[in-house]
Structure 1
Amino acid sequence: MKTLLMLFTALMLSACAGVDIEHYAKQKPVLDLPQYFNGTLDAWGVFQKRNGEVARRFKVEIVASWQGDTGTLDERFVYDDGEKQRRVWTLKRQPDGSWRGTADDVKGEAIGRVAGNALHWTYTLRLPVDGTVYEVAFDDWMWLMDDKTMLNRSRMSKFGVDLGEVTLFFQKRT
């Protein structure tokens, strides 16, 4: 019985592991963060509850700039109910090629890796909801589709429980 329980636990943990970023290493076009996130970008997105219902829609204007291996992404959100938010990310390339990111509403650092056309971020966001701030884990994937278009899908969870998904479509201005 103990062996069966250990096997079941191992299977459950491996099912939660997800895709390794290296799976995308040969995918084109190759994502160069400073090249793509430079200048002004527009994004449109939705938040879906875990049952699939779209709970919020939003538009984002992003103004991005770089100094060496450090980038600033100034994001201005406008939600379908008129609410406005601002998040300013500071991104830093690490010596091993990974990325670290900080923002005022991110607890600690976002940690990311790029391979091929993909970026995978993990971080904890302090999310205000109805006067209470929740710390929510984000498992954030971005895929470069072409030189102007990126798709982003983030899974949100708390204590390992799925809360929903955020999907965004980015378009770089010409």
Structure 2
Amino acid sequence: MNISDFAGTTPEYRPETFLSARLEGWGVLERITGGLQQRFTVQAHGHFDGAELAFTETWTFDDGHVDTLNWRIRPVGDGRYVGQEDRLDGQAEGDQAGCAFHWRYSRDVPQKDGSSTTLNFNDWFYRIDETAVMVKGTAGRMGVPFATAHVLYRRLDS
């Protein structure tokens, strides 16, 4: 699948506009071999100042573990984006076309026991309508995925 496959589809998904709001989300993590691994909720909010999107999302997992990400995302032209977050290894890179957004990064992910693990993420966002976005993402190590996330974000305000 290529981002260009989504050119011309609507409604258009642009992180700087969709994520510039209060959002809530729900999701599940599945093992790559199948089966439910975890459930979670997400509370998020963002603000775009015309140059950079400041976006904070707090993930609360069913085991009580909480992970907060503080993103700074910039459009750099031609449907391309770059992002920073305190626990990233390097920077995130994204591509947008039509209703889709492809986001890739490596992040040191804190675990419930206090340890952390660096994971590679490969996320596809699909805008459904004015208030909903679905995400299918994979997490893995050294390019080998071991979990799939299915997330629904709902925009609460404009």
TM-score normalised by the chain length of structure 2: 0.92
Residue of structure 1 in register with 2:61 after alignment = 79
Q: Distance in 1 between matches of 2:79 and 2:7?
A: 13
Which stretch shows the higher mean deviation, 43-52 or 121-130?
121-130
Residue of structure 2 in register with 1:157 after alignment = 140
Residue 131 (structure 1) shift: 4.3
Aligned positions, number: 156
Q: Is this contact kept in 1: 2:26–2:40, CA < 8 A?
A: yes
Query: Bigger radius of gyration, 1 or 2?
Result: 1
Residue of structure 2 in register with 1:169 after alignment = 152
Residue of structure 2 in register with 1:146 after alignment = 129
Q: Distance in 2 between matches of 1:50 and 1:32?
A: 29
Q: Distance in 1 between matches of 2:77 and 2:134?
A: 27
Q: Distance in 1 between matches of 2:108 and 2:44?
A: 20
Q: Is this contact kept in 1: 2:14–2:101, CA < 8 A?
A: no
- Name the % identity: 25
Residue 90 (structure 1) shift: 0.4
Amino acid at match of 1:152: V
Residue ranges of structure 1 left out of the alignment (5+ in a row): 1-18
More RCO (CA 8 Å, sep 6+): 2
> Residues 1-174 of structure 1 correspond to what in structure 2 (within 5 A)?
19-129=1-111, 130-174=113-157
Residue ranges of structure 2 left out of the alignment (5+ in a row): none
Amino acid at match of 1:153: K
Q: CA RMSD in A?
A: 1.4
